[in-house]
Structure 1
Amino acid sequence: MLVQNLSELKELDLDGVNISAPGNEWCQVLSSSVPNRRVLSMSSCSLSGPFEFSLLKLQSLSIIHLYNNPFNAPVPEFFANFINLTSLHLSSCGLNGTFPENIFKIPTLQTLYLSNNELLQGALPDFIGDLTVLSIVDLSVCNFRGSIPSSMANLTQLVYLDMSSNNFTGPIPSFSRAKNLTQMYLFRNHLTGKIDSLNWKDFLNLVDNASSTQRKTFGLALSIILTLRLPQVLDKLDQILSVCTTVILSENNDLSEEESSGENMSSSRCHGEGTIPSKELRKRQIKYSDPINQLSLETSVRVNLQTCAALHGESFNSAIGNMHPAALEQLKKALKMP
């Protein structure tokens, strides 16, 4: 192994290093050589399982990032004994068995990534609502079952929630207290009931006062709601489409203004009036490197509307027919429909 006799090391980051070691080897070496570490980051290292109990010696761990390793093993119960854990990232690890519920009792837990572990089963306990600092939960493409606990309404610090492509059933709890929640994905489950999380007055005020990137994020999140097999989606259809339409048209206007500004700056340079200020250029670079900027809200709304129509049939046609004519025209303009 690459590490040994490093007793004072606090952080270990070996992401991408091809270690290719079985569980009984790498677990033993790490637990004996770097016992005081707080950060363990060994993603994409070709580590295999199972997880050895010797890891429990690492009681100072607060961050465990081991994603994209072929463990092909269960998540051990003793992970719940890492009482200082703030971040657990085990996505794409071939995990199987049942995820230990007691991990949801770690009060310091802030981020949990378990995505793309199709054989990983589990259920969300009611006490998940006690995790007052939990901000990111990604359980997408796993095999979690049961209902989504109503106690999740207490997760006021949530920013990102993805529980898509599982086997959750029952109603969707309210997330109205999670004021910073910008992305929520629940599609490809068996959910029913009302969408109580959206306080439209507060939400529209939030959209109005957001930056262009934030508005687009809100629009993308709303477009995802169109893919839910819930009758309440049709009750909110005109409001969902109204927000998305406003964001798309606003985005088009911003783009036109930027193009005009770019032409003016180019003209200025041609006439010897200098170059684009470095601060302005850096702002543009940051904006266009943002992943959100690479997504098309127009395409997302168009595709998800087709999904909505397929899910709801004639009820969808009736909901579209009940839209205000002016709102329908704006929608057609935004989506470039004849």
Structure 2
Amino acid sequence: METMVKRRTPFIDGGHATFIWRGEHAPELIGDFTNWETQSRSIVLQQMEPGVWGTTLSLPRDAYIEYCFVLNGQQVADPLNPRVLKSGISSQNNYFWMPDGSDTSLMQTHEGRPRGRMSEHMVSGERLTSTPERQVCLYQPAVDELCPLVVVLDGHDYLYQAHLATMVDNLIAEQRIRPIALAFVSNGGSARTVEYACSDATLAFLLDRVLPLAQDQLHVLDIQASPGTYGILGASMGGLMGLYAGLRMPHIFGRVLCESGAFGGHQPAYRLYYRSVIEDLLALHPAPDLKLWMDVGRYEWFLEPNRQMYARLREQGYDVTYKEHNSGHNYPSWRNIVWEGLEHLFGRST
């Protein structure tokens, strides 16, 4: 037992992960595997010897997991696990990979490979966004040909947490996708939910402010001459907004990459604004010429709503590809599968 406690936790043995805590009192364990619930699903560690508490979970061998302990009502990091990252909400989480999982190598830079050009811009949000200006970072791939444009919602997070620009550099260099340009659009902070809840104001901001900037600064296809060639990408509320944009403007955003789309909530009011407009669009209009990719983690609260949305889209005749992965609702999970969506939507053969 003493040897186990001195090792970095959790202790991984095949498909099992053992969590250890040293202290006078046993903490609760929460994480992706409990949907981060602190009451009905939290796991209380059991005493293994005086002052040592533990529990063992069975997990898929390729899983990526984030977790923390709860002690005296407060979330605390695992002092025996140095792998810590910001949760994106208000705390820090520990994380680990099971033995057959790892971060994608596509997020690593490679000496000698062509790299795209980045530029940063402040765009007026007057009357359309919650802030007077909004940051937009543009990525021009290292090619001279005209490219499709992909608008990336929550752009700052996809740029710095998902390393999406580096990933696209590598996908292009390895000829796994055709060259694409990117517009990383930052979110509205505390107004993010309002701006991404199927908002026509946000859609107008993209059409009237972001697209003209990208068309002026980047070598992108003329959307009038090549309708439906642009894409839009987002996760969670950004995934919801991305699908809405594709349904509303398929002649522009003909490719949609939706990660862990926020298609449901725990309260009736959430279900209303999350789903009502998209449900109406699906019910009242024939399926447009739209190509969709959806992915979602098996350890997150939006799993069942995404399964339902996928079934609904299939029922309505949409061209939609869907994939589940053994992880939760976070950027490490999304960055390790987003490249598959890009290959599907912008592969050399598409």
Scaled to the shorter chain, the TM-score interval is: under 0.3
Give the alignment's TM-score, normalised by structure 1: 0.26
Larger Rg: 1
User: More strand by proportion, 1 or 2?
Assistant: 2
| TM-score of the superposed pair, with normalisation by structure 2 | 0.26
